A = this chain, B = another copy of it.
């Protein structure tokens, strides 16, 4: 069957563009860099939100909502922050038909406005830690945009927390990185992200430490899928975030911030998709199993409907496709394009022999199975497919990770995947040199894979790659 997508090997960016359009995930909005997220794309985002929100709450944070509009002078208070974000601001200068005396920015991120209010709410050590999160849209004026991956407006969650000690702040930033972000990405998205520390050059503006989750896409490039920052006392100082400690002494708070966004939808597409379309891990798929009625004859319609009902009753996100006025082939292609993990094809011919056909999207495999065993099999395969997808994504990542010992090696290895190299071989100078080949240090790890407490620890390993 001819593919409706540009093959990945021919032009990966074009393949991505095709899939976003053909699987009805999103379209460009009318204002440059904005996006319209269509129902199928949004259903995936909704599941991401539900799964991530539960993990964030399990880490003890509460949701709140802060304003979209932020006074310009808030940005100017923290030196690195203003430098980082000023070029990206969208500014409102007219309100209610009048020129505003004090124009304001559409939030690009909310450290400053959270800082202003958290300073009011934190009085004593009893108010700490204060753990807040919000789900919101943010705007960064981007020059080159790509749906989900880099857009002027995107949806995200941003956490902002205040702590009594540096240690507590660091532990919490790490806990979010591990228990919320990594757990979600690995267990639900089946993307075996690398966890590490950013180099000074790649740090969030105003942070003293940025930690990251880096996923490998099927073209060997890296995607930063979530970050968690220790902000030290930089924002606390600027916004007077003080507290009285148990001894009645005034102390400055330590803060963190951390975020994940609709960018993860782009990562999901590029980590698993193939030339036939999306391939969704069952835990994130809006539909885990579609029951496709091949032809409505000899009771096939009733059997298909019953199967779909039984699957739903068994806890599977199943749906029935009984649109027999559209050709079976076209519908099958469409479900492949949409990446539905499991497909049960129900037709009169198979049924006459007591069979239905089960199709695994991630393996492009078909098998004839007894109708009576179908529900049990699908329930079981939901978990099997999830595990297999994580295993194959992990194998792919490892195959495309090369051990390097020189910058030359790194440049070569980065053409097809990640380069693992001693950080001492790269260093700040090497980082600049690699940048000329559009290669960046994605993260630093210790030899054992754990996250370093500083970039000058001995024997650190750098993972380098081209990146989105």
Contacts and interface: CB of A to CB of B under 8 A. Distances in A.
A201 interface: no
B87 A94 contact: no
A74 interface: yes
Interface string A84-97: 00111111111111
Given A92-B90, A94-B90, A71 B31 contact: yes
Interface stretch (A60-68, A276-284, A421-429): A60-68
Interface stretch (A134-142, A204-212, A303-311, A370-378): A134-142
A34 interface: yes
Interface stretch (A38-46, A171-179, A336-344): A38-46
Contact of A139 (B38, B65, B68, B113): B68
Contact of A67 (B35, B42, B66): B35
A222 interface: no
Contacts of A143: 96
B96 A27 contact: no
A422 B103 CA distance: 49
A106 interface: yes
Contacts of A35: 67
A387 interface: no
A442 to B, nearest CB: 26
Contacts of A30: 67, 70-71, 74, 113, 116
A46 B67 contact: no
A13 interface: no
A86 B97 contact: yes
Interface residues of A, number: 52
B94 A93 contact: yes
A29 interface: yes
A274 interface: no
B90 A64 contact: no
A39 B66 contact: no
Nearest to A93: B93
A238 interface: no
A94 B88 CA distance: 10
A43 B67 contact: no
A153 interface: yes
B29 A104 contact: no
Contact of A63 (B43, B90, B106): B43
Contacts of A117: 27, 36
A261 to B, nearest CB: 12
A150 to B, nearest CB: 14
A62 B287 CA distance: 14
A155 interface: yes
A104 B67 contact: no
A37 interface: yes
A132 interface: yes
A93 B91 contact: yes
B66 A137 contact: no
A69 interface: yes
B153 A69 contact: yes
A157 to B, nearest CB: 13
Interface string A110-146: 0001001100000000000000100011010101000
A90 B97 contact: no
A35 B65 CA distance: 8
A34 B94 contact: no
A361 to B, nearest CB: 22
Most chain B CB within 10 A, of A37, A74, A95, A97, is at: A95
Across the A-B interface, the 4 shortest Cβ-Cβ residue pairs: A96-B141, A34-B67, A29-B67, A91-B94
Given A69-B139, A92-B92, A106-B106, 15 more contacts: A31-B70, A31-B71, A31-B104, A34-B67, A34-B68, A35-B67, A36-B64, A36-B65, A37-B64, A38-B64, A39-B64, A42-B64, A45-B65, A65-B155, A89-B97
15 contacts: A30-B67, A30-B113, A31-B104, A34-B69, A36-B113, A42-B62, A65-B155, A68-B139, A89-B96, A91-B92, A92-B92, A93-B94, A96-B141, A106-B106, A137-B137
